[in-house]
Amino acid sequence: MEQYIITGGHELHGSIPISGAKNAALGILPATLLCSGVCRIENLPQISDVRNMLDILASMGVRIRYLNKNAVEIDTTHTQNVPTPYEMVRKLRASYYLIGALLGRFGKAEVALPGGCDFGFRPIDQHIKGFEALGATVQITEGGIVQVEAKDGLVGASIYLDVVSVGATMNIMLAAALIKGQTVIENAAREPHIVDLANFLNTMGADITGAGTDVIKVRGVEQLHGCTYSIIPDQIEAGTYLALAAATGGAVTVTGVIPKHLESITAKLSEMGAEIEEGDDTVTVRRDSSVRMRRINLKTQPYPGFPTDMQPQFGVLMSMAEGTSILTEGIYDNRYRYVNELRRMGAEATVDGRIAVFEGVEKLNAAPVHAPDLRAGAALIMAALCAEGTTVIDEIHYIERGYEDIVRKLKSVGAEIRLVEIPDGAALERAN
Ligand code: UD1
C-alpha cells in the first residue's frame, strides 16, 4: 500500500505545467473505436484512469503504441466487439463511453455497468434514453451487464436530456456520429471536454456543430478516419493547484492552460482575497499567507457554473477562511465524505444533505487521514500542505487516477511531500 507523507505550513512558489484533461481523454480514447485506422493522441495525461482505458481497448484487439510518455498511437483496424471484462470496467466510470462507441461502430455493445468514485447513486438512464431514441434496444442483465443492440440500424433523432449530463451528452455524440440522419441533443452539457470530444470527432471526419452550447447537432457521416489530435489542458488539475496556492499562500503559476476554462474558479479565489493574473496560456495566483482568506458561499453547477470536481478543494479553503462559509453541492448526493477527515485535522464543519457549513479556523493540524475519492484526496493534500506538522494520507490510488506526477509537480513549487510504500500488514495495524 502507498501513502503520502506531507509536512505543511510553507508557502509555495513557482510554476506547474498542466497535463491533458482526464475527462476529455476518457471520451476521446473510446472514440477512436469509431474508425478503422490509426489515431495519434497527444497531450494524453499519464494517469491510472487513462492506463485502465488503454488496457480495456487492448483487450478488444486494439493495438496501442506509446510514442512518448504523453502520446500514443492507437490502431483500431483489428478491433473485436467482445464483451468487456467486469474486472477492468469496474475501475473506471468512463467505461460507459465504450457503449456509445461500440454501438456506433458495430451496432451492438455489451459492457458491464461502470464503477468510478462513489458520490452516491449515479444512474445512466439519460444515456439509455439517448440510445433508445436512436433506435437501439437496451437491457441490463441481472449480473449488471448493459446490452445494447440496434437490429435495424440506428437513425438520428431529437433527444432532450432531463438532467444536464456530461456522460450522456458525450455518449450520444459517440453513438450518433456514424448513423443515418441528424441527431439533436437538447439541454446538452457544455463542459470544455464536450467541445474537445466534438473537435476530435470532427478531425476524424464527423459533422458536429453546437458543442459548447446546450444544443448539439450531429449529422451522421458514412465513415470516420484516423487522425492526429492533442487533448486540451485539464481544467480541474489547474484549478486544484491554483486553489492550493491560495490555501498555502505564495505565488504559483499554472502553465499551458486555457484561462477561460478556469474563470468560475479564479473568480471565487479572487472573492476570497487571492490575487489573480491571467496570461495567454497561464494563470498566476498570489496570496499573502499572513492575511486570512475571506469567507464565501458557493454552489456547484454544470459548466459554466462552478465545477463539482473543485468542491472538496474549496471546502478546504473555506475551513480556514475567516467567518462562516456555506457550500452547496448541486450535482451529487454524497460528495462530502472528506469533511470527516478535515474535522480530524481541526476543521469545524457540519454537513446536512447537500449543504456543508464551515466555521473557518485559523489553522489546521496534521492527522492520519484517508482519501475517500479522487478530488477529495487532492483536497486532503491541500489541507495537509497548510497544516502544522506531518500528515499521512492513505488510499492514494484514488488521487493517482487523475493527477499526473503530482508528487514531482508539488515538490517543484516547494511542497514537502513524499510517497512511501508500506507493507499491507502495517496498514491494517494502523486501521485498527
Ligand atoms: C462526469 C465526470 C466527473 C464529473 C462529472 C460532473 C467523467 C468520466 N466523469 O461524471 O469527473 O464529476 O462529470 O462534471 O467524465 N445523471 C442522471 N442520469 C444519467 C446521467 C447523469 O441522473 O443518465 C445525473 C448524475 O447522477 C449527476 C448529474 O446527472 O447528478 C451529472 O452527471 P454527469 O454530468 O453525467 O457526470 P458523470 O458522467 O457521472
Report yes or no: 71 and 44 within 8 Å, Cβ to Cβ.
yes
Contact by Cβ (8 Å): 112, 91: no
Q: How confident is the model at residue 91 (pLDDT cuts 50, 70, 90)?
A: confident
Residue carrying C-alpha cell 448526493: 333
Q: How confident is the model at residue 119 (pLDDT cuts 50, 70, 90)?
A: low
Does residue 357 carry a pLDDT above 50?
Answer: yes
Is any atom of ligand 1 closer than 6 Å to the C-beta of 396? no
Say whether pLDDT at 431 is over 60. Answer: no
Q: Is the CB of 165 within 6 Å of ligand 1?
A: yes
Distance of CA 368 to the CA centre of its chain: 26
Assess whether pLDDT exceeds 60 at residue 428.
no
Distance 122 CA to ligand 1 centre (A): 7
C-alpha cell at 23: 475527462
Rg of the Cα trace of the chain? 22
Residues in contact with 64: Cβ distance below 8 Å, sequence separation at least 6, in sequence order: 54, 57, 58, 72, 73, 74, 75
d(CA 5, CA 17): 23
Asked whether residue 430 carries a pLDDT value surpassing 60, the answer given is: no
Question: For ligand 1, is residue 92 a contact (CB within 6 Å)?
Answer: no
Check pocket membership of 172 for ligand 1, CB cut-off 6 A: no
Q: What confidence tens digit (pLDDT) does each residue in 4-52 have? A: 999 999 999 999 999 999 999 999 999 999 999 999 999 999 999 999 9
Atom number, ligand 1, closest to the C-alpha of residue 166:
34
Contacting residues for 17 by C-beta, under 8 A, at least 6 apart: 254, 255, 256, 409
What is the pLDDT of the chain when averaged over all its residues? Answer: 94
Q: Pocket of ligand 1, candidates 26, 98, 165, 375: which has the most ligand atoms within 8 Å of its Cβ, to mutate?
A: 165
Q: Which of 86, 180, 94, 175 shows the shortest CA–CA distance to 138? A: 175
Pairing of strands 158-160, 137-140: unpaired
Active-site residues, by number, are 117
**Length of the chain in residues, anyone?**
432
CA distance 217 to 61: 31
Pocket test for ligand 1, best of 129, 159, 166, 237 (most atoms within 8 A of CB): 166
pLDDT tens per residue, range 200-258 = 999 999 999 999 999 999 999 999 999 999 999 999 999 999 999 999 999 999 999 99
Helix, strand, coil share (%) of the chain residues, nearest 5: 35, 30, 35
- Structural domains of the chain, ranges and CATH numbers in brackets: 2-19+233-431 (3.65.10.10), 22-221 (3.65.10.10)
The DSSP 8-state label assigned to residue 82 in this structure reads P
Helix (H, G, I), strand (E, B) or coil at 198: helix
Pocket of ligand 1 contains residue 93 by CB under 6 Å: yes
Could you give the strand order of the β-sheet that contains 368-370, starting from the edge strand earlier in sequence? 368-370, 390-394, 2-7, 416-421
**259: preceding bond cis by omega (within 30 degrees):** no
How far is the first Cα of the chain from the last one, in angstroms, to the nearest whole number?
Answer: 16
Model-level pTM? 0.95
Using an 8 Å Cβ cutoff, are 71 and 42 in contact? yes
**Grid cell at residue 414:** 516547494
